[in-house]
Amino acid sequence: PLQNSLLELYGLSSLIDEHFFGELSSFRTRYINYGGDLQELRERLKSFCWRSLRSQVTEFVRYTERKPITRKFIPSEQEQTLYESISSYLQRDDNYALPAGQKHLLTLLVRKVLASSPHAVAGTLCIMLDRLKKIRDQAQKDLNTLDKLLTVDEIDDDLLDELLEDDEDDSPDEDATPDKQESQDKKIDLKKLESEIKELEDYVRWARSIGTDTKAKTLLKALEIGFKELEKMGADRKAVIFTESRRTQSWLKDYLEANGYMGQVLTFNGTNKDDSSGLIYQEWFEKNKESGRASGSRQIDLRTAIIDCFKDKSSIMIATEAGAEGLNLQFCSMVVNFDMPWNPQRIEQRIGRCHRYGQKHDVVVINFLNEKNAADCRVYELLEKKFNLFSGVFGASDEILGTIESGVDFERRVLEICQECRTEKEISDAFSRLQAELEEKIKNRMTDTRRLLLEHFDEDVHDRLKTNLVGTQEKIDRIGRMFWQLTKQVLAEIGKFEDIDFSFRLEASPAKEISTGNYSLISKEKENIPGRFLYRLSHPLGEYVITKAMSYNCPIAEIVFDISNHPMKISLVEKLIGKSGWLELRHLRIESFGSDEFLLFSAFDDSGNNIDQETCEKLFLCSGKVKSLSIAPEEQTTRLKSECERHVNATVSQNLEENNHHFSEARDQLDKWAEDMEMAAQKELDDVKRQIKELQRRARQAPTMEEQRTIQDEISGLERRKRSLRERIFDIEDEISEKRDKLIAALELRMKQKTTDKQIFTIRWKVI
């Protein structure tokens, strides 16, 4: 998981197998809380989690470089004074606009838009201002305003949407809700509230009066420089601009279109509800509804439509954080961080949209730096020099990013510095301490990594990787070739085929759901051609071809394979030139722990020598001529039957051995799951015990008899719950044990093999 959160890992494992871990509470206790057993967690994850680093495959995968460009700017005096004033406002502890339960979240939001643009600041402050006015009006009517002021749920949804829609990692902490007892002691000072309203109104007027800010003007020059770099490299004139605010996004689109980029700018965010995005989607859908590209989900297809439009028509796409997730923009070679996140992993994620496998050019990374902002300067120094985010082949190394454990934690550390430090010296000293702490962590992390590589990275790993890489490519090519040849065979009477570009025209429809027209075999090596259907195994026509071919009756025949005129050398088959013999193909299906299918060749030559499986498979890569044959001699039929039985039995035995291994792993996993579930039940009891102890402590310190009586009532309720939980734990243990036994019994049933063995064909073969 990109944010290095164990909770995300827990969620991922539950998608794969709901019985992999138990309850979330027991997972927290065992692996996240203080003293968590991470080594045990690694052992449990080994069965389905494996990670290869980018640096381990550079010999086989070409990665381009990153070219950083820093665009420094000095804000105007008006802009800087506004920044400092709002920053001071955020540092105060007595703001009504920032409720205690969401203070961290909302402070982070305002600081993000504060560094983004005056337009974003004005919009965000207006939402805060409207809320304060509602509170004032309610207070003047003498309503129950205290809860309205301090309850988290009453914060305007628009304000949270500003942050949460594109930035889910900054959701509120579980422990962030305000203490109810403390809330009762707070009073609303209407005079102070009115003063804060006027202060925010001044900030809004101030921000709106600025107009075009210095940072936006700097963007025009930055794009000009970046596009020149792309031109030198021969890359397409395309740039993705990342911003933290949708208001900034909208403002920048209008600004760029008014300054030389009319009709060249797209926007991408978490909703894409604007009219232009709707038109892009409608045009894309009409064009692709018959091509097989439309998924049926409007949200997914809308994203695809915008990306296609960016690739084919536009020069610039302005994206919020939603654009940093899951998009492949390898056709674009310029990333502009108009707003720089404090989370290093988010920055790496952004750049990774373009700087990825398949990128043909170096990627230009443009960053903006406010020279008057001491905190931003120090953050940028850490990101550039300590995390190495913006240069090199890899950007931030796994060892370095791993030291911060969570980018959100790093972001919070920066926010604390901005909130607590008042002078430039205080900011500098705080960042120096943070940097020293990170350097020590990075040093230790890299030492551990080198040790692990020396211990585990065998010298023959590269050879294995090479073999796997070549083997995978050959397999993909072979499957594609076989599918193509099969299609030509099945559709010979209704299709016109072009082997040069693997395309064909379907003249007549073989089934109601299949359209006639031009088809092109799907390939990663070539661009899709507009107007052609993407032909693949899962296409209705592809499924028809496979089903039709499987229904063919293959009577006994003689096949003469021609290896002499084959365009490629196949050594195993060349050894059979001039020889002949008999061959049978059987389809074996085994229903057990899983469902497995095998195509088993059994063959021998006229001298009685057995022919192995691989050689038989390669025989059918050659062209051949089919000759009719009435019947096989009884002696050859008996030999073939014996060979087939031997091959089937050996395959079944091997499959049983593999399934025994899977069964043992699954049983051990269920045992661990049962432990997790029992621990969750015990943890609930332990929590109640802790609550009782805390209440007993408070009772001893309670100044009045009334408070003591209230606390004792709570203790009595918890004592009853404790007794109930103790009784319930025995029932839970029995339930878990019963469920575990049922699951294991189900596994044992799956272990009972059910085999289906079917003859496909028998042939007399000859190689010339």
pTM of the model: 0.60
Indicate the range of 129-133, 323-327, 509-513, 636-640 predicted with least confidence: 323-327
**What is the greatest pairwise CA distance in the chain?**
108
- Can you give the three-state secondary structure of 260-284, one letter per residue? CCCCCEEEECCCCCCHHHHHHHHHH
**Average of pLDDT values for 85-100?**
87
Query: For residue 183, what pLDDT is reported?
Result: 41
Q: Give the C-alpha separation, 263 to 275, whole Å.
A: 14
Q: What is the pLDDT of residue 640?
A: 92
Q: DSSP labels for 55-107?
A: GGGTTTS----EEEEEEEE---HHHHHHHHHHHHHHH-S--SSS-GGGHHHHH
pLDDT above 80 for 85: yes
Three-state DSSP at 514 gives coil
Distance from first CA to last CA of the chain, Å, rounded? 55
Indicate if the pLDDT at residue 381 is higher than 50. yes
Query: What sign does the CA torsion over 388, 394, 399, 404 have?
Result: positive
Residue 720: the pLDDT is 87
**Tens-digit pLDDT profile for residues 519-543:** 988 876 666 667 788 888 888 999 9
- Residue-wise pLDDT for 693-742, tens only, equals 888 888 888 888 888 888 888 888 888 888 888 877 777 777 777 777 77
Mean pLDDT check: name the lowest of 78-82, 108-112, 330-334, 663-667.
663-667
Task: Name 166's Cβ contacts closer than 8 Å, sequence gap at least 6.
Answer: 246, 269, 270, 320, 321, 322
pLDDT of the residue at 274: 85
| pLDDT for position 187 | 65
Average pLDDT over residues 5-11: 79
Phi first, then psi: what are they for 602, rounded to 5°?
Answer: -130, 125
Torsion angle defined by CA atoms of residues 570, 571, 574 and 576, in that order, rounded to the nearest 10 degrees? -120
Which range has the worst mean pLDDT, 44-48, 265-269, 410-414?
44-48
Write the pLDDT tens digit of every residue in 315-355. 999 999 887 777 889 999 999 999 988 888 888 889 989 98
Whether the per-residue pLDDT at 623 is higher than 80: the answer is yes
